[in-house]
A and B are shown apart, each in its own frame.
Chain A
Amino acid sequence: MSFFKITLIRSGIGMTERQNGVLKSLGLRKRMKTVYHPVTPQTAGMIMKVKELLTVSEVDTPLTQKEIHEKRRPPKGFIVENPLRPEATAE
């Protein structure tokens, strides 16, 4: 089963109630938020209602919100080394 990767590129401010309702149902609360929905005629219809605000692509596997957040997280940049606390060195 394939999925739509939907990202809200343009804000819903100033859009009609119906369009904002579609964005709410898709789970797009903020600009640049990415959600994954299965490819069905219902989802396709919702995308067509607000297609000017979105960027859509098709992927095989969806990511959870946690996984999306982890991908965006920058590297720590350091490793804690402490001979007094060996469990810190193991991290």
Chain B
Amino acid sequence: MLLRTLQRTLRPLTALPTTTTAPSLLRGLTTTPHLHNLTTTPISPITPPTPPIPQQPSIPHQTGTLNITTPTAPTTPHPSLALLTALKSQPAQYITIHIHKFPFLVTVGDLVRLPFRLKDAAVGDSLRITHASVLGSRDYTLKGSPWIDPALFTCRARVVEETSEPMRVKEKTKRRNRRIKKVKSKHRYTVLRISELVVKDAPVMAAAAAGEV
């Protein structure tokens, strides 16, 4: 039922810039090459794999299942995911998580004060983040369209606090009118601590490595 579309990058990066790329090409590459998230379509026994369709950003990913191809025909991961190991090997990563579509750019250990109270979670609960649009490190960025496959990362947050702002009173009145109406506000907020952010390997590479062993 789920249709995962392949989106070609405008400038496909087939090799790391430090090794075989000519100096003239290096000038064109930025220090933070952007990868578009591409996941391989699951190959069913009946239909052949669908070819890449260049079109607008797609349906959001619903589940966390891996797109593992059939073990009889191990294929290399899509070229855009080839730099995922490089992103993973860097010392620090960040992720833009979306909670009710509000984006938060966070890394491990961050305290996030949401602009609302999370009704679903109580203090002490652990949340597993399912929707993220950008996963990056100092030199590499993985952009989802619109979301990144949840199989590529693990991000957990803990509900640390349910706090509220100080009471504020808004006085409403009109000119030359002595009647003053007072409106009280004391909004409540949920505070999260990002406890875990792990970048996983591209799914096909993990299957191939398991096949080799």
Chain A residues at the B interface, C-beta cutoff of 8 Å: 74-82, 84-85, 88, 91
Choose from A74, A78, A84 the contact partner of B124 (Cβ within 8 Å). Answer: A84
* Residues of B89-137 contacting chain A, CB below 8 A: 97-101, 120-122, 124-131
Name the 6 nearest CB pairs between A and B, nearest first: A74-B101, A77-B131, A78-B127, A82-B125, A77-B99, A77-B98
Contact A75 B101, beta carbon cutoff 8 Å: yes
Bound-state CA distance A75–B101 (Å) is: 7
Q: A74-B101, A75-B60, A75-B101 given as contacts; is B127 within 8 A of A80 (CB)? A: yes
Taking CB as reference atom, which chain A residue is nearest B155?
A78
Contact A79 B100, beta carbon cutoff 8 Å: no
Bound-state CA distance A80–B122 (Å) is: 9
| Secondary structure type dominating chain A contacts | loop
Closest Cβ of chain B: how far from A79's Cβ, in Å?
Answer: 5
Q: Flag whether B6 is at the interface (Cβ < 8 A).
A: no
A-B contact sample (8 more), CB < 8 A, given A76-B130, A77-B101, A78-B128: A76-B99, A77-B100, A77-B131, A79-B128, A80-B126, A81-B128, A85-B122, A88-B121
Total interface residues in chain B, CB < 8 Å: 19
What are some 29 contacts across the A-B interface (CB < 8 A)?
A74-B98, A74-B101, A75-B98, A75-B101, A75-B131, A76-B131, A77-B100, A77-B101, A78-B128, A78-B131, A78-B157, A79-B127, A79-B130, A80-B120, A80-B121, A80-B126, A80-B127, A81-B125, A81-B127, A81-B128, A81-B156, A82-B122, A82-B126, A84-B124, A85-B122, A85-B125, A88-B121, A88-B125, A91-B120
Closest Cβ of chain B: how far from A72's Cβ, in Å?
Answer: 11
* Residues of B151-171 contacting chain A, CB below 8 A: 156-157
Taking CB as reference atom, which chain A residue is nearest B61?
A75
Contact A77 B97, beta carbon cutoff 8 Å: yes
Chain B residues at the A interface, C-beta cutoff of 8 Å: 60, 97-101, 120-122, 124-131, 156-157
Contact A75 B130, beta carbon cutoff 8 Å: yes
Closest Cβ of chain B: how far from A61's Cβ, in Å?
Answer: 18
Taking CB as reference atom, which chain A residue is nearest B159?
A80
Contacts of A80 in B (CB 8 A): 120-121, 125-127
Contact A81 B100, beta carbon cutoff 8 Å: no
